Amino acid sequence: MTPLLELEHLVAGYGKVSVVRDVDLDVNKGEVVALLGPNGAGKTTTILTMAGELPPLGGAVRCLDLDDNASLHERTRAGLALVTDAHAVFMRLTVAENIRLFHTTAETVVEIFPELESHLDKRVALLSGGQQQMLALGLALSRRPTLILADELSIGLAPIIVDRLFSVLRAAADGGVGVLLVEQHVHKALAIADRVYVMDRGRIAISGAAVDLRERVDEIQASYLTGAPS
């Protein structure tokens, strides 16, 4: 099986300064892959390079059979969806107006998140943070992507909302989508992931099947997830 996303000896960073070094990682169709690590570990730099927002400084980024230097726009057209903690929606517009701008339908988004049905005429700024993230994820999934990069969806959200978002990502993977979940919420990420990579100071420190790493979660948290230099 050819991976939807594959990093080989990736070096990534800003300008000539490398933040991420020698990273190997892959995501296949129909699986959730979790990339864990503390703040400053290099997760966001890695996901921006995967998405085409940052050019790789070395190594290879194979994403949906596109060139290493393909832009985010080109990758999106090829089937990539990037969802971040920034809620990529227009706050001054209503939910319905956001849906129209995204060239999808309310029916499709509401099918994914029925919780939004009663808020279609409400301005997004008046929604809760969890509802805003549901809208962002619902918009992304409504376009039927091949690969989803989800960056820190749980930040600032109640556990019940995180569970809801993660259940939708798991269902998307079960339907054949490849999902990369960048996350600090270790227990919840491990609960839905098939495979896991743990990043520490710009490198992959541990990788393996989620079912195996669940038994080592206390060790992983103590050794790798208690903080990192920014």
The reported pLDDT for the residue numbered 68 is 85
Q: Strand pairing of 32-36 and 17-27?
A: unpaired
Tokens, residue 47: 């996901």
Domains along the chain with CATH numbers = 5-79+145-224 (3.40.50.300), 87-144 (no CATH)
pLDDT at 87: 62
Predicted confidence at residue 75, as pLDDT, reads 96
pLDDT, tens digit, 9 for 90 and up, residues 147-157? 999 999 888 89
Please tell me the predicted confidence (pLDDT) of residue 226: 65
The phi and psi torsions of 204 (rounded to 5 degrees) equal -80, 120
Q: Write the CB contacts of 141 (distance below 8 Å, at least 6 apart in sequence).
A: 81, 112, 148, 168, 172
DSSP, collapsed to helix, strand or coil, labels residue 94 as strand
What is the per-residue pLDDT for 217? Answer: 86
Q: How far is the C-alpha of 33 from the C-alpha of 189, rounded, in Å?
A: 9
User: Tens of pLDDT along 96-142?
Assistant: 999 999 999 999 999 999 999 999 999 999 999 999 999 999 999 99
Residue 150 CA: distances (Å) to CA of 156, 199, 218, 219:
15, 16, 24, 25
Q: How far apart are CA 50 and CA 63, in angstroms?
A: 7
Residues of the chain whose pLDDT is less than 50?
Answer: 228-230
Instruction: Give the list of residues 6+ apart from residue 147 with CB closer than 8 angstroms, or none.
Output: 4, 5, 27, 63, 64, 79, 80, 81, 177, 178, 179, 180
CA dihedral 169, 170, 173, 175 (to 10 degrees): -100
